[in-house]
Each structure stands twice: as structure tokens, then as C-alpha cells.
Copies of this chain bind each other. A is one copy, B any other.
Amino acid sequence: MKNLHLIALGLLLNISAVAVAQDKQAKMHQVVMQLNSADTAVWSSTLGNIRNFQKVWPGNVKIEVVVHGKALNFLVNEKSHLVAEIESMTKLGVTFNACENTMNKYGIKKEMLIPSVGSVPSGVAELVIKQEEGWSYLKTGY
């Protein structure tokens, strides 16, 4: 019977530990942004939103930008007019991921992307996975 008490208490302590861990996690904000527009005004405003997050939550926000469809050139070294801005943001910890599905469709190889950015097999799947993991979602565009 004593063992039962210990198991019960152990489980209860575990539950409390999970609650505390969730609370700690809540203090680090996590945002996944969807960028799928060819409109360069949307590209600039996406970077503006990121600067805004960093001003409000310095050191306290994880940001991932998922770039797919018509927005892909945003991350293509020879096509994007925002290479310097994107590279300085990745140094600050912002993640930019190109959709490999879109890359295949348009014949864009990894070496054509801005060196500091990454890629994911499917942009839309990445947006879903991050939401499943508790990240907040923001759709860019108007």
C-alpha cells in the first residue's frame, strides 16, 4: 500500500512539473509566419513585423518565416532585394525556411538560396506542425 502512495505522489509531482514547464515555455513567445505573396510590399512588411516583435519581446521570441509559392524569390539570392536584411535577421536568430516543394516546382536548387536560410520539405505542413507544437500563426499579406 505504501508503494501505491509513492506512485500516486510521484504522478502528482509529475503533473505539477509539467504545469511548471508549460508556464516557462509560455514566457518564450513562438510565432510562425506564412509568406506566400509575390508582392514585395508584403515582403517588406513581413520584415517590419519581425522588427516589431523583437522590439516588444527582446530575446524572448522565436520567429520562423515559412516562404512558399509565389513568395519564393524572397529567399533566392539573385532575385531578392532584401538579402542583407534577411542575413542580419538570421544572425539574430530568426529562421527563414523555403518550401522544397515550391523549389522543385520552380527548379530552384539549395545553392541558389541566400546562404543563411534553410528549407523544409513542405511549407504548408511546416505551418501545421508548428501550430501543433503550440506556436502562434500569422498570415502575412493584406
Contacts and interface: CB of A to CB of B under 8 A. Distances in A.
Interface string A86-126: 00000000000000010000000000000000000110110
Give chain A's interface secondary structure class: helix
Identical chains bound together, number = 3
B142 A38 contact: yes
A142 B74 CA distance: 14
A121 B53 CA distance: 11
A127 interface: yes
> A interface, how many residues as a size bin?
35 or more
9 contacts: A5-B8, A29-B125, A29-B132, A37-B142, A53-B124, A55-B122, A56-B122, A127-B136, A128-B138
